[in-house]
């Protein structure tokens, strides 16, 4: 409504600009000059009557002033504008009042978008964010880090991005910078070793192995360092040692570990039989399966939903159960309840936020299920 009010004011201003000159007659030009010459003739007559000038002088002055008066009168007549007929001024005013607004409206209807609904600010901002390229985002982070080189959070964010984009040298620099700012940890040392290995085209170099050894010393159960230490043994030709490291890694793997299949493939590669995969979650026993087989479809769905809701209730009490969160997310996806799956994904990340290892695993599950927010 405010926009249309502004448009109306603009139209009124345009009409006023057209009609204002039509409401005034053109001023007469030269009238002041003629009056001056007439005053001069009267003054000459007064001076002659008072005896200030002689008759000959008075006649000469009258002749000169009269000549100028006649010339000025001729110019005034020639420059006087021809008066515009009243009907023409009225016709022009009518055109300004009616055709100008009508023409503006017709033009807007032809080339404007009067039926296009307004787009909310949030949608416009979202569209802008969607068009921001990854390169532009990286450039912004890099500019921020140039101004704030001690921002550990910035290095932590950009390091995995470098790694995924194949910018391995930058990834190594970011990993080293992060360790310098935040100190050693098994996860940071393992990440540094991974970047060094990627920079060497998959070869576990001496520097990379040293980083993995430091990670294993800080946390013997750190999965990434153990996997790459096994790879280092394989590259050294010690396949038995590699198989031993990877079997131990699988033995300590949490249920549903995303990297377990990769370790089994590595065992197969060195000629070692991988251990059988364990179930990711305990299932119903034989009696429950037999009972479920006798149920109707609706009863079976009700039973499954009841078990899922029971699991969700347990996770509210104990949010540190990584395996439970994985089971719950997959169950919601299988049931087609993606709204609940998205909500559970957010709850899982908040509950596991204090453990970087578990948080990373649950984020991998969320990504694999297509539940990113």
The 10 Å Cβ neighbour count of residue 215 is 27
The answer on pLDDT for 152 being more than 70 is yes
Out of 134-138, 291-295, 341-345, pick the least confident.
291-295
What average pLDDT score do residues 149-168 get?
89
User: Taking the alpha carbons of 350, 355, 356, 362 in that order, is the dihedral positive or negative?
Assistant: negative
Distance, CA of 364 to CA of 372 (rounded, Å): 10
| pLDDT tens digit sequence for 63-92 | 787 777 777 666 555 555 555 566 666 676
Residues 342-346: what's their mean pLDDT? 88
Model confidence at 193, in pLDDT bands (50, 70, 90)? very high
For the stretch 104-138, pLDDT in tens is 777 777 776 655 555 555 555 555 555 456 678 88
At 228-282, the pLDDT tens digits run 999 999 999 999 999 999 988 888 887 777 788 888 888 888 887 766 555 444 4
pLDDT at 333 over 70: yes
Average pLDDT over residues 171-195: 93
Residues 6+ apart with CB under 8 A from 30: 72, 75, 76, 79, 80
pLDDT at 209 over 90: yes
CA dist list (Å): 223 to 71, 101, 176: 112, 75, 20
Those residues whose C-beta lies under 8 Å from the C-beta of residue 250, and which sit 6 or more positions away, are 260, 263, 264, 267, 274, 275
**pTM: predicted TM-score of the whole model, two decimal places:** 0.44
Residues 193, 212 contacting (CB under 8 angstroms): yes
Confidence (pLDDT) at 4: 62
pLDDT confidence bin for 289, thresholds 50/70/90:
very low
Is pLDDT at 327 greater than 50 in this prediction? Answer: yes
pLDDT of residue 122: 55
Nearest to 346 by CA among 207, 336, 332, 334: 332
């Amino acid at each position: 409504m405010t926009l249309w009010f502004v448009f109306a004011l603009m139209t009124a201003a345009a009409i006023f600009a057209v009609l204002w000159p039509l409401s005034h007659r053109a001023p007469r030009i030269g009238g002041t000059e003629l009056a001056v010459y007439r005053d001069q003739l009267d003054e000459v007559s007064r001076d002659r009557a008072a005896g200030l000038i002689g008759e000959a002088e008075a006649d000469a002055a009258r002749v000169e002033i009269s000549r100028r008066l006649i010339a000025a009168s001729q110019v005034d007549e020639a420059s006087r504008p021809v008066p515009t007929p009243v009907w023409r001024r009225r016709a022009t005013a009518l055109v300004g009042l009616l055709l100008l607004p009508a023409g503006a409206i017709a033009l807007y209807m032809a080339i404007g978008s009067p039926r296009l609904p307004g787009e909310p600010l949030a949608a416009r901002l979202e569209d802008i964010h969607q068009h921001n390229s990854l390169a532009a985002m990286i450039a912004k982070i890099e500019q921020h880090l140039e101004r704030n080189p001690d921002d550990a959070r910035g290095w932590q964010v950009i390091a995995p991005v470098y790694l995924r984009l194949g910018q391995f040298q930058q990834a190594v620099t970011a990993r080293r910078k992060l360790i310098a700012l935040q100190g050693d940890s098994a996860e940071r040392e393992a990440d540094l070793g991974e970047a060094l290995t990627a920079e060497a085209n998959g070869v576990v170099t001496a520097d990379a192995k040293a980083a993995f050894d430091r990670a294993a010393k800080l946390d013997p159960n750190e999965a990434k360092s153990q996997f790459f230490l096994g790879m280092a043994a394989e590259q050294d030709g010690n396949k038995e040692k590699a198989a031993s490291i990877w079997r131990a890694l699988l033995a300590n793997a949490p249920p549903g570990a995303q990297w377990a299949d990769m370790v089994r493939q590595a065992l197969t590669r060195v000629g070692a039989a991988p251990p059988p995969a364990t179930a990711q979650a305990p299932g119903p026993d034989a009696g429950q399966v037999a009972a479920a087989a006798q149920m109707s479809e609706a009863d079976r769905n009700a039973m499954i939903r009841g078990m899922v809701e029971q699991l969700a209730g347990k996770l509210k009490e104990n949010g540190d159960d990584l395996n439970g969160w994985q089971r719950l997310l997959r169950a919601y996806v299988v049931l087609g309840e993606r709204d609940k799956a998205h909500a559970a994904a957010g709850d899982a990340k908040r509950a596991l936020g204090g453990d970087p290892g578990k948080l990373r695993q649950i984020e991998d599950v969320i990504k694999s299920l297509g539940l990113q927010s």
